[in-house]
Amino acid sequence: MSKRDDIVTAAVDVFSRYGFRQTSMELLARAAGVSRPALYQHFANKQDVFAAVAARVTDLTTDAAHHARDAEGTPADQVYGVLSVKLETVIGVTEARFRQELVAEAAAMGLASVEDRLLDALVDLLAEAPEPRETAALLLASTVGIGQSDGTPEVLRGRLRRLVDLVMNGLNTTPPQRS
């Protein structure tokens, strides 16, 4: 692993704990175990470090979502797998008070959206559903809501599984004809 990779790895934790605004190059250098001048040899500024972190997180999340999408199992299992990737990021390492700030900063910088990539993976799985993109967007938004609700990670995962089962069963049910 290169020194740049080490810095990005350390920076994931720093941005997760302090958010974008409170993170400084000094904090990033300390976390990576390098001097500030050494940090500047790899990154021009905090935005450059953040962009590298966002790219890494997006790539890792996308890879995990594609793996879940392509895994063996029922369509409900695959949808749950993709949504679990999102749930784990919501209940994972980033402090709740900084999540929205980090997402907003990434959007302001024009960085690739993890949500867009997760949405695409879900649309692939829901291609036969009516309005697959809207259904996928609803499931993603619901996953965020579940992740922000009270409960242990196990309880939240159970809620997500129940939601997926309800939606997938509903999609497999032919609605009664109205007269």
Higher pLDDT, 119 or 115: 119
- Kind and range of the H or E run holding 54: helix 46-70
pTM of the model: 0.78
DSSP state of 90: H
> Of 102, 67, 72, 71, which is closest to residue 85 (Cα–Cα)?
67
Residues 91-100 pLDDT 10s: 765 666 676 6
Residues 131-142 pLDDT 10s: 999 999 999 999
Residues 3-23 pLDDT 10s: 999 999 999 989 988 989 999
Crossing angle, helix 46-70 and helix 3-18, to 10 degrees?
A: 90
Cβ-based neighbour number of residue 79 at 10 Å: 27
Average pLDDT over residues 137-159: 90
pLDDT confidence of 105, banded at 50, 70, 90? Answer: confident
Q: For the range 18-22, what are the long-range contacts, defined as Cβ-Cβ under 8 Å and sequence gap of 24 or more? A: 18/98, 19/95, 19/97, 19/98, 19/101, 19/102, 20/46, 20/50, 20/98, 20/101, 20/102, 20/105, 21/101
Is it the case that residue 177 has pLDDT exceeding 60? Answer: no
d(Cα 79, Cα 71) in Å, to the nearest integer? 10
